[in-house]
Chain A
Amino acid sequence: MNPILLIIEREFLSRVRKKSFLVITILGPLLFAAMMIVPGLLASMPEDNKRIIVLDEPSILLPHEGKKQYQLSYLNPKEYDLESAKAEFQESDYDALMYIPSGEGWDPDFIKDNVLVFGKEDVSFDMEGYLEYLLEDQINKQKLLMQGVDPEVVAQSKTQVNIKGFKLSKESHEAETSATPLKMGLGYFAGTFIYIFIFFYAVQVMRGVIEEKSSRIVEVIISSVRPYQLMMGKILGIGAVGVLQFAIWVLLSSGIYVLVSQFLFADLFEAAAAGPAAGINPQDIAGFEIFDMLRSINFPLIISGFIFFFFGGYFLYSALFAAVGSAVDQETETQQFMLPVTVPMIIALVTATNVIQDPNGPLAFWLSMIPLTSPITMMIRLPFGIPLWEVGLSVVILIATFFAVVGLAAKIYRVGILMYGKKITWKELIKWLRY
């Protein structure tokens, strides 16, 4: 049997048989499904309604009743002042007390800065926001009236503009529905996933190298196989673990998602299905718009791109991490080398928002050409449909860099794994390249 296959087999089996693999493989999709389901579950929970008592000295809100979530009732300003209102509030079962002072004269600019809210618990942002909105609305109206303008006229003159985005492709000359939100989600998801995968598994490669070095078995092994074979076997074996884990995750996650949506949100789906039967124009239903959006996305390109950049990024980084692992004696010593290696990935992730806002801008272009950032940045850009030559160039650069980096990493690795008890500097590493 080819030694590299033997090494792959050992790396793969020794990890897959571990209990922690089972735990992560099962918990992963549960967490993932929870991430998708919990927000929906929370949103569908009955709302917690708050009752607010208001001491409205200038009678600016009165008799507004608020909304279901925040119901307003009023104290008579002639009978209460702030102190007695507070006392009354303490005794009552209201959730909050709002105090609107009139100040001297009836000055809206004084009022706007002096409204107080007391809660039995901390006052939530949401409640504060709603009350501010109410007061702003009323004060605006009052100001308009004071200037002799009818608020109704202003309300009627307000206009909201809705722009619909289309993409006019050269090939079809047909306008397609712009699917920007979906593309954003897709790009961001794919980019983040690649980032997590690279980090998680490349670090495992590094740990494996350190383990072999610190347990001193490495010299026994490389008296049987070439250091290069050991390194590549490790990278491929751990990569295979990742692929298996990913495949299980996809299956389990979608399984759980389907099950949950069938049982928990059954009524929601029924409602959507009943739509066309009830004579509603299909075009008006959001679901059909999503269908249109999906059609506008080049899935074969995205999926093959995902697979390529997923592996390309993993191989590139795991070779770097293997070199880092070989240069140190313990994991705690890896920091000085880890930082420069991980910074490009972090840059790619941090700039994701900028890339999404301008998927064809110079930042997006260059980050998707630089091989250390391209696996993430290119994945973010891919759903937006970018010129094929750019994808091709990025792929070629990544492959070329991969071979160059593996060659260099193998050189460092070869020397590093036999070097003990020495604090390694960058200068030293560069020297090893010439051994």
Chain B
Amino acid sequence: MIKAQSVTKKYSGKLALDNINLDIPKGSIYGLLGPNGAGKTSFIRIMNQITAPDSGEVMFDGKVLKPADIGRIGYLPEERGLYKKMKVGEQVLYLARLKGLSTSEARQRARNWFERLEMNDWWEKKVEDLSKGMAQKVQFVTTVLHEPELLIFDEPFTGFDPINTNLIKNEIKRLNKDGATVIFSTHRMESVEEICDHIGLINHGQVMVEGPLLDIRKHYQNGSYAFTTKSAMSHWEGVEIVDQAPGHLGVKTIVLSEHYPASIITSLASNGELVGFEEVLPSVGEVFIDIVKNGAK
């Protein structure tokens, strides 16, 4: 859906994006991850054509990104808000018309969404009279109303209350199922692990790693395995016990091993001690720390 080719952006001499190449597949839920100041927002603003790259180009659905494409993108910025003095309905229509919808079409769709999210009697209310959670729902509706093919959420769950977070997660999954490509940008890596299928890790304006989430986690497998045994595991040749804690099925022991610990599994299984075994995949956060410390593999 989005292909960034050698995109570079400088702000008064400081490199915000350094020759970035990213490939965001159509239909994916893509996590754009990285610490604060890594360049995520800079890249998002380029996709939204708020700023232009100094060099390189961004392809949108196979063609160079052009101004008319803004109608196909829905964007929920990190710094978000609404006109406080404007009525909810009026505001939703205004923002939809700015995206190129006709008034009647915008009204029709807005009514449907208001119905769905149980906001029907908010239409005539002023935004300043809404609670924070209500305003967040309105904001979400304005982002998706024009049925964009690409949805971009910048730090979507900061400031959203847990009920709305859940509601919106589900709506986003539904939109994705209906064909929309979704980009999440966040510095809280654990928060998107459960919904993203692809990720791109950015740091200091450079892409550290990119690809399907599971592949990356497997790639960064660091020899960590978890045994669950009836009684506590003692020392074994060739492995290092990192952590040991009793659980309700037995004692869980995390070990580090250079090779797949086949011999241990066989011997534990043969004397009936073994309850469970799994390969431990690193979390995205752990992958990131690994990369920052040791460089990309």
A residues bordering B, Cβ < 8 Å? 1, 3, 6-7, 10, 14, 211-212, 215-217, 219-225, 227, 418, 420, 431, 434-435
What distance in Å separates the Cβ of A49 from its nearest Cβ neighbour in chain B? 57
- 4 smallest beta-carbon distances between A and B, as pairs: A216-B81, A219-B77, A224-B98, A215-B81
List B contacts of A3 (CB < 8 A): 98
List 22 interface pairs A-B (beta carbons < 8 Å), by A numbering.
Answer: A3-B98, A6-B98, A10-B94, A215-B82, A215-B83, A216-B79, A217-B83, A219-B77, A220-B76, A220-B77, A220-B81, A221-B98, A222-B50, A223-B49, A223-B50, A223-B73, A224-B98, A224-B99, A227-B50, A418-B79, A434-B12, A435-B12
* B80 interfacial by beta-carbon distance below 8 Å: yes
Complex-state Cα separation, A224 to B50, whole angstroms: 9
List B contacts of A435 (CB < 8 A): 11-12
* B48 interfacial by beta-carbon distance below 8 Å: yes
Complex-state Cα separation, A119 to B23, whole angstroms: 93
List A contacts of B206 (CB < 8 A): none
- Known contacts A6-B98, A217-B82; 13 further A-B pairs (Cβ under 8 A): A3-B98, A6-B97, A14-B83, A215-B82, A215-B83, A216-B80, A216-B81, A217-B80, A217-B81, A220-B76, A222-B50, A223-B73, A435-B12
Complex-state Cα separation, A435 to B54, whole angstroms: 10
Provide the B78-113 mask, 1 if CB < 8 A to any CB of A, else 0: 011111111000000011011100000000000000
Contact B97–A215 (Cβ < 8 Å): no
List B contacts of A431 (CB < 8 A): 12
What distance in Å separates the Cβ of A328 from its nearest Cβ neighbour in chain B? 15
Provide the B189-209 mask, 1 if CB < 8 A to any CB of A, else 0: 000000000000000000000
Complex-state Cα separation, A302 to B165, whole angstroms: 62
List A contacts of B12 (CB < 8 A): 431, 434-435
- Please indicate which of the listed interface residues A212, A219, A223 has the most CB atoms of chain B within 10 Å of its own CB: A223
Complex-state Cα separation, A7 to B83, whole angstroms: 13
List B contacts of A420 (CB < 8 A): 79
Contact B82–A224 (Cβ < 8 Å): no
Contact B81–A225 (Cβ < 8 Å): no
B residues bordering A, Cβ < 8 Å? 11-12, 45, 48-50, 70, 73, 75-77, 79-86, 94-95, 97-99, 139, 142
Complex-state Cα separation, A14 to B83, whole angstroms: 10
List A contacts of B85 (CB < 8 A): 14
What distance in Å separates the Cβ of B205 from its nearest Cβ neighbour in chain A? 17
Complex-state Cα separation, A10 to B79, whole angstroms: 22
What distance in Å separates the Cβ of B129 from its nearest Cβ neighbour in chain A? 14
List B contacts of A222 (CB < 8 A): 50
List A contacts of B83 (CB < 8 A): 14, 211-212, 215, 217
List B contacts of A219 (CB < 8 A): 50, 75, 77, 79-80
List B contacts of A225 (CB < 8 A): 98
Complex-state Cα separation, A3 to B83, whole angstroms: 17
What distance in Å separates the Cβ of B189 from its nearest Cβ neighbour in chain A? 24
Q: Given B45, B80, B97, which contacts A220 in the complex, CB threshold below 8 Å?
A: B80
- Please indicate which of the listed interface residues B75, B79, B82, B84 has the most CB atoms of chain A within 10 Å of its own CB: B79
What distance in Å separates the Cβ of A20 from its nearest Cβ neighbour in chain B? 11
